[in-house]
Amino acid sequence: MMQVQLKDGSVRELPENASAMELAKQISGSLARQACAARINGELKDMTTTLTPGAQVEILTFNDEEGRDVFWHSSAHILAQAVKRVFPDAKPTIGPPIENGFFYDFADLTVTEEDFEKLEAEIQKIVQADFKPVRLEYETTDQALAVFGDNPFKKEIIEKLEEGLSAYQQGEFVDLCRGPHLPNTKMVEGFKILKTSGAYWRGDAKNPQLTRIYAISFPDRKQLRAYLHQLEEAKKRDHRILGRKLDLFSFQKEGPGMPFIHPKGMVIWNALLDFWRSLHREDDYVEIKTPAMLSCELWKTSGHWDNYRENMYTSEIEEKVFAIKPMNCPGGMLFYKENQFSYRDLPRRVAEVGNVHRHEMSGALSGMFRVRSFHQDDAHIFMKPADIKNEILGVLRLADKIYSQFDLPYHLELSTRPEKSIGADEDWELTTEGLRAALIESGREFKVNEGDGAFYGPKIDFHIRDAIGRTWQCGTIQLDMSLPMRFELEYIAEDGKPKRPIMLHRALFGSIERFFGILVEHYAGKFPLWLSPVQIRLLPVAERHHDFAAQLGKTLKAAGLRAEVDLSNESVNKKVRNAQVDQVNYILVLGDKEMEENSYMVRTRDNQVHPNIGWDQLVLCLTEESSSRASNSLLK
């Protein structure tokens, strides 16, 4: 007999040479059925692994991140086995687990969605065959090459690894693999191929393109169904679909990646910017507007011409070359140089909501999330070295006000000096520590990405998490040591001598277009009142109530509310439905009763009914809800 220790510190007695699976069985039958792999003395191993006396053992299931990775990686092998059966010429390359599921990349394979059914049928056969993956180990590179040498991708991997080579076999299928793997294939009850795409070998466009198949699997068919359901739900929030349904924006083939914002979208846009401007006024920002197009000489000075030219739209007129701005900063530099500043004038906070154009690769475009024409809520802060910490703190506070307005949780990341960078060591030290000190003083947690800063300075990024759990990099604070130098910015210091200011770029929404798209999905089109394109719709019951409704509509508009009166020749039921489908916040049906009683029944788009509300009370309540930018209805 021998003893092993479990994660919780308890000790188990087992026969000599017992495997991890036998341990799991001793603990409980259900654990043994769910066990994906074991962590033995800190290393991930197969359940078949023989335990040694005194070993520390943890049994991992699908509920553990690492267990899940093993589950999905084994699923990838099953997928590859099925692909080999259906397409014998396909050459498997790699097949790792990812955040949601896994993929496998193949060379010499073309699949379409019509093949999915065939592949899934084959996968079911493999699952039902209940293969027990067996680990094979190779002593030498040559041994491994004898098995996999005809696959150039596996060959590359083998030659790179040289030792510790292993493979797993299930039935006729052998795949080079580090492991570990599931004890059997029958555990994979729910399996679904999701999509296929091209992917470059090792992620590099210079390498051959492979065919990638994405899939997901679960130990339980119910979990698969729930996951697929969740995907469907997320699809319903898709800002591209809601944007069309709610008539917020559109794209035209004449302007790929260049959104048209419709009147209802502009209501949201303007509400966002009103909010943004009010906060910036409080924080003593001034706002400017610089030209969309400027001479290429400017872009040569800023460095964009050398580094960014292929992404810039250019135009030649009267033999002079101009470029549409991909960033606002160079224009902001010219503005700074308009005046001579004293140290007393700093920090100077200059904001600009600038429309920038960047020629993104055609395949990268995606709704409002990745566009070629967008607006940055930019600001450039010019300051003395001593101002850094306070200015960063100010921006952190401002960002917090903005994100918390939308109930968007976020986290911060600090990126430090990359290998390729400009500027003196002491400048990097000064600026990076300024950022760090401000982050620490703000009391917020942050992650550090060493070497991930821009070549011209360190930065802080804001990553927000939306209602479906996805994270987005929105805000950014970037210290820039390059532009003040290139543009020879100065201020006059206390000693009367010119000094170079420190400059930072910052954006909080990031791209307004993208933030807009995120909000559409975050709220699933159900905007809070202050953002909502149509806040209230009045539905007269019959024609004799039209004048009454129009009159009330006028009162609401005069109170600053966005009201519509539905005079269409439709039934009341239909009008209510239309208003709810249009995500109108409040719906009022107006008939004889309302004309007589001056008391109203207010219905929301979610079918909440608030009875017996007086007109003045209603107007007061809605104006308060809207102007205070409340997240939830104030009606009781």
Partner RNA sequence: GCCCUUAUAGCUCAGUGGUAGAGCGCAUCCUUGGUAAGGAUGAGGUCGCCGGUUCAAGCCCGGCUAAGGGCUCCA
Tell me how far, at minimum, the Cβ of 388 lies from RNA, in Å: 32
Residue whose CB is less far from RNA, 37 or 94 = 94
Sign for the CA dihedral angle at 265, 266, 272, 276 comes to positive
The SS3 assignment for 587 reads strand
CA pair distance 86, 166, nearest whole angstrom: 25
Least Cβ distance, residue 577 to RNA (angstroms)? 3
Phi-psi region at 263: left, alpha or beta (left = phi > 0; alpha = psi -120 to 50): alpha
DSSP annotation string for 360-404? --GGG-BTTTB-SEEEEEEEEEEE-GGGHHHHHHHHHHHHHHHHH
Q: What's the sign of the alpha-carbon dihedral 410, 405, 390, 444?
A: negative
CB of 51 to RNA, least distance (A): 23
SS3 content of the chain, % helix, strand, coil (to 5): 40, 30, 35
Nearest to 481 by CA among 428, 417, 439, 438: 428
In the complex, minimum distance from the CB of residue 521 to RNA, in angstroms, rounded to a whole number? 12
From 28, 197, 339, 617, residue interacting with RNA (rule: CB under 7 A): 197
Kindly state the number of chain residues that form the binding site for RNA, as judged by CB under 7 A: 75
The residue among 212 and 375 lying less far from RNA, judged by its C-beta, is: 212
Q: Does 251 bind RNA (CB under 7 A)?
A: yes
Chain positions 480 to 539 lying near RNA, rule: CB under 7 A, are none
- x/- site string to RNA, residues 208 to 247, per CB under 7 A? -x-xx-x-------------------------x---x---
List, in sequence order, every residue forming a beta bridge with 103; answer none if it has no partner: 214
User: Which residues are identified as catalytic?
Assistant: 329, 358, 376, 378, 380, 459, 505
Nearest Cα neighbor of 621 from 549, 535, 540, 541 is 535
Q: Does 196 engage in binding with RNA (CB under 7 A)?
A: yes
Q: According to CB under 7 A, which one of 206, 253, 420, 636 is a site residue for RNA? A: 253
- The tokens for 142 are 């040559």
CA distance 287 to 289: 7
By the rule CB under 7 A, 320 interacts with RNA: no
Cβ pair 170, 81 in contact under 8 A: yes
Which member of 570, 608, 612, 620 binds RNA (CB under 7 A)?
570
By beta-carbon proximity to RNA, the closer residue of 598 and 607 is 607
Contact positions with RNA (CB under 7 A) in 100-139: 110, 112-113
Closer Cβ to RNA, 226 or 364, answer by number: 364
The residue within the footprint of RNA, chosen from 589, 619, 621, 622 (CB under 7 A), is 589
- Shortest spacing between CB 178 and RNA, in angstroms: 3
Q: Which of 300, 336, 288, 381 is nearest to 490 (CA)?
A: 336
Q: In the window 601-630, what residues touch RNA (CB under 7 A)?
A: 601, 603, 605-607, 609
| Residues 502-541 as b or e (16 or more Cβ within 10 Å = b) | bbbbbbbbbbbbbbbbbbbbbbbbebbbbbbbbbbbbbbb
The only residue of 573, 598, 632, 636 in contact with RNA, by rule CB under 7 A:
573
Say if residues 453 and 467 touch (Cβ distance below 8 Å).
no
DSSP 496-527: S-EEPPEEEEEEEEEEHHHHHHHHHHHHTT--
Residue number, 220 or 247, with CB nearest to RNA: 247
Binding range to RNA, per CB under 7 A, among 271-279, 297-305, 357-365, 383-391: 357-365
CB of 392 to RNA, least distance (A): 28
Which residues, in sequence order, are bridge partners of residue 213? Answer: 104, 196
Say how far apart CA 122 and CA 117 lie, in whole Å. Answer: 9
CB of 8 to RNA, least distance (A): 29
- Does position 593 bind RNA by CB under 7 A? yes
Binders of RNA among residues 445 to 484 (CB under 7 A) are none
Q: Which is nearer to RNA, 97 or 533 (CB)?
A: 97
Looking at residues 268 to 297 of the shown chain, list those that interact with RNA (rule: CB under 7 A). none
Kindly state whether residue 316 participates in binding RNA, applying the rule CB under 7 A.
no
Which residue of 135, 202, 262, 500 would you call a contact of RNA, by CB under 7 A? 202
Upstream peptide bond of 180 is cis (omega within 30 degrees of 0): yes
Site string for RNA, 145-184 (x = CB under 7 A): ------------xx--x--xxxx-------xxxx------
